[in-house]
Amino acid sequence: AGVTAPSISIVAAAAIAVVAVGALTWVKGINYLRADHAARQTAATFSSDPGAGLRQIEAAISLAPDVRDYHHRRSLMLQAVGDADPARSQAFLREAVAEDLHAVELNPMSIDSNLAAAYSACNSNSPFEIDWRGIKMNSTAVPRTAPDRRSGHE
């Protein structure tokens, strides 16, 4: 009824596998918590310092790049910065649209992500066109006064 060397090595291998999976889960989990903390602070920071707010949401994205809401928040911030800086608004808007399109890629079946991307593409005072997967989105297709379905305002 003694323990043999092969059974000890199997137990040791199983223990190492459990520890490795636990460590990997912990690292990913802690990054998501850190990302959520950074993302929650962005609204207050952005209102007083847009640059710092953008850096915070970018930090959240770097910690949890697969959370589509962070990409959408960054898009909204870029649109706001573009509205405040007319000289560079188109550059900010293009980056905002790209950010919303990335959110769509993360979850193509999300109606909210698709609507946000379409709204971002149409939310411009001057015309531009973006070609995304063969679908041409034109900023002149919908007037800037289109209802904002996200906020419920007409």
Question: pLDDT of 47-62, one tens digit each?
Answer: 889 989 999 999 999 9
132 or 75: whose pLDDT is higher? 75
Better-scored residue on pLDDT, 61 or 9:
61
The DSSP bridge partners found for residue 148 are: 153
Asked whether the predicted pLDDT for residue 70 surpasses 90, the reply is yes
Name the DSSP letter for residue 2: P
| Cα–Cα distance measured from residue 147 to residue 65, given in angstroms and rounded to the nearest whole number | 29
- Classify each residue of 106-127 as buried b or exposed e, where b means 16 or more C-beta atoms within 10 Å of its C-beta: beeeeeebbebbbbbbbbbeee
d(CA 51, CA 22): 37
Residue 8 banded pLDDT, cuts 50, 70, 90: confident
